[in-house]
């Protein structure tokens, strides 16, 4: 197992579409900050982040569906990220990349208003109250996203956790953000969303068990 992880890490070091900065590099002035579109993707298309991308299959799926957008999957677990990064390489997808870093430092990697859209897919719901600040839709994180997002930027949350779905709706309402769409059972809803055919590995496991998948889309209003 350890040798397999080391092999994956070594392979990713050779992938031009994978960026793995050290924390010191981020703090001292990250070279791609403010330059993701022009220097990394080499175009001016909208920039979409997937936070907690895991194996990266959702970023890859979105990139294939929306070729006129740039997608960047972000996670700290490189051995998982290798799956999507390798698929993107093998399929020569030029509009998807991966950034290996902790999400709590995300403001160090992007300039103000540089991001057009954010996807949060199946994050750890952090059920214990003492870990509430670790939830990716906690106000601490929403304030970070507010810095990155352009004024009309949209956030999507897709999760199997009814708890996190309800918690997020409460935060949206309590802080006066703009809820654009919400569904507590996405795949049994009458309204079919255009992104429904893209599913992560773990999402399919939940669906096979009969667990409902929730979804919401909102804009920040700080």
Largest CA distance in the chain: 50
Strand-pair partners of 181? 217
Q: How many helices (H) and strands (E) does the chain have?
A: 7, 8
Closest-CA residue to 213 (of 167, 159, 163, 168): 159
User: Distance between CA 16 and CA 28 in Å, rounded?
Assistant: 22
Question: Read out DSSP for 134-178?
Answer: GSTTSHHHHHHHHHHEEEEEEEEEEES-HHHHHHHHHHHHHHT-E
Residue 82 has, within 13 A of its CA and on its CB side, a CA count of: 15
User: Has 124 been annotated as catalytic?
Assistant: yes
* C-alpha distances out from residue 132 to 106, 122, 163, 177, 218, Å: 18, 16, 12, 19, 20
Active-site residue, from 24, 44, 124, 185: 124
Residue with tokens 């897919």: 121
Active site members: 124
């Amino acid at each position: 197992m350890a040798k397999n992880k080391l092999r994956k890490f070594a392979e990713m070091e050779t992938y031009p579409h994978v960026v793995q900065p050290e924390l010191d590099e981020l703090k001292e002035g990250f070279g791609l900050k403010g330059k993701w579109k022009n220097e990394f993707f080499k175009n001016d298309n909208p920039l979409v982040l997937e936070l907690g991308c895991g194996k990266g299959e959702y970023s890859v799926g979105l990139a294939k569906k929306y070729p006129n957008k740039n997608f960047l999957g972000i996670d700290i677990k490189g051995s998982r990220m290798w799956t999507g990064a390798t698929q993107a390489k093998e399929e020569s997808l030029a509009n998807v990349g991966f950034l290996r870093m902790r999400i709590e430092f995300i403001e160090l990697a992007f300039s103000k208003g540089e991001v057009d859209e954010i996807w949060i897919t199946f994050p750890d719901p952090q059920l214990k109250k003492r870990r509430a600040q670790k939830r990716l839709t906690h106000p601490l994180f929403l304030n970070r996203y507010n810095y990155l997002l352009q004024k009309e930027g949209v956030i999507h949350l897709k999760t199997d956790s009814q708890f996190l779905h309800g918690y997020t709706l409460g935060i949206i309402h309590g802080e006066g953000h703009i809820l654009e769409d919400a569904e507590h059972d996405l795949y049994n809803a009458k309204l079919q969303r255009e992104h429904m055919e893209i599913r992560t590995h773990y999402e399919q496991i939940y669906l096979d068990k009969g667990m409902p998948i929730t979804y919401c889309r909102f804009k920040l209003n700080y």
